[in-house]
Structures are given as C-alpha cells and as structure tokens.
Amino acid sequence: MNAHTGRTQPLTLCPAADTPCEDARMNLMDILDPACIIAPLQSVEKQGVINELIDRLGEQGQVSDVQSLKDAVWSREQTRTTGIGHGLAIPHGKCASLKGQALAIGKPQEPIDFEAIDTQPVHLVVLLASPPDKTKDHIEALAHISRMMNDSVFREAIYNANTPEEIFALVGNQTV
C-alpha cells in the first residue's frame, strides 16, 4: 500500500516500471463507444468472451476485418495471459483494419477463468485494439486502464455495475 495515496501498488503495464507513462491527455471516453459495452456477456469462457467483444466492435463499424483482429488478440493472449489480477483482464492487439483505437468492455454473468496471473477469476474484461502504427497510444491506453482499475473503490463499483449504462457512467466519471 502506498502511504501517500492509500492505494495498493499499481498494476504496471508501462514499458519501464521506473518511468511513468506519459498519458495525462489520455481519455478513454475518446475511444469507448457505449454500444461496445456488454453487460452481461453471453460467453462463459475466455476465447468466447474475446470473440464476443471483437464481434461487437465489428458490428459497430470499428473494425472492418473482425477475423484479423481476433487472430491478433488471440495471438497476443497465447504469448502471455492478459488476466492481470484483481479480477481484471485486458486482452489487446493491433490490427490494420481498425479505423482508430477502439475499446470494448464486457462483464461476464459470473466471474470466469482467464488464467489470470493471481489465479483469481475475472469480473471485467476490457479489450483494447489499436492500429499497428499507434504503439505509443496503445501503451498509454493500457497504462490508463491499469491506473483506473487500481483504484479499489472504482474497481468495486464497476464490478457491481449491472448495465452498460452504469459501466459507461463510471468510466466517464473516473479521473486518473
């Protein structure tokens, strides 16, 4: 626990743990379409959840080649789990068929096994997709999501949200 902030240690996703990511300008609301929030998800297993979220991005016109994004995200997932702990998974990938960065959020009906590093089930899945030439933006978004979810009060509130509207409002009101 950090004595100054009262928060637990952050889930670091920055390239160098000693160097804070420069994402003060990052606003997740710029890349989150409320129609890309699914609560509850129909899928009950890891790959199904990833596919359901990517399908929603496709339905909303955020990605033109859904299968290439599924391949990219699943390839990344096979390298190392994106179940980062504290009930959160952030599957992510880069794909040329994206219009820009895109975010999809899904809340499983019941917590699911995402092979998380802390072995705990996942309560929320935040899928991030970026064009290949947006590596810096991709890393900044991952860091922003991580910091946002590091706030235990916010994390508990979003895990208890039952509708896409509640999740969207919580993300919109969160400052990190």
Give the domain CATH number at 43.
3.40.930.10
Q: Is there a domain that residue 9 lies in?
A: no
Count of domains for the chain: 1
Q: In this structure, are residues 60 and 36 in contact, taking their beta carbons and an 8 Å threshold?
A: yes
For residue 140, being part of any structural domain is answered with: yes
The pLDDT-based confidence of 26 (bands split at 50, 70, 90) is: low
Over residues 43-67, mean pLDDT = 98
Residue 104 lies in a domain: yes
**Mean of pLDDT values over 42-47:** 97
Query: Which range marks the domain in which residue 106 is found?
Result: 28-173
Does a structural domain hold residue 125?
yes
**Span 139-169, pLDDT tens digits:** 999 999 999 999 999 999 999 999 999 999 9
Which positions ≥6 away from 129 have C-beta within 8 Å? 54, 57, 62, 63, 69, 72, 73, 92, 93, 94, 95, 98, 101, 102, 103, 104
In a domain, 123, yes or no: yes
Name the percent of the chain in helix, strand, coil, to the closest 5.
Answer: 40, 20, 40
